[in-house]
Amino acid sequence: MFLLLLVLLLLLLVLLLLLLLFLLLLLLFLLQLRVLLILVLLLLVHNPLLLFHINRLTNKILQTV
């Protein structure tokens, strides 16, 4: 039960981070800061890899429960 709660909190944290990145991207686009926009896009390119690792971790935790 505790592990399940931990997984849910982890997923919530990931969703919040993605939302924050999206809002940042939108803000940068509106301000036309092209250099920063490119940097944020690069960060987003690396982000799915991070999400993949988090997903694998949560799957392992769920299998042990």
Q: What are phi and psi of 32, to 5 degrees?
A: 60, 40
- 20 burial level (CB within 10 Å; 0-12, 13-18, 19+): exposed
Q: How far apart are CA 43 and CA 58, in angstroms?
A: 22
Please tell me the predicted confidence (pLDDT) of residue 50.
65
pLDDT tens, 11-62?
A: 999 999 999 888 887 877 777 767 766 776 777 777 666 667 767 877 887 8
| Amino acid at site 38 | I
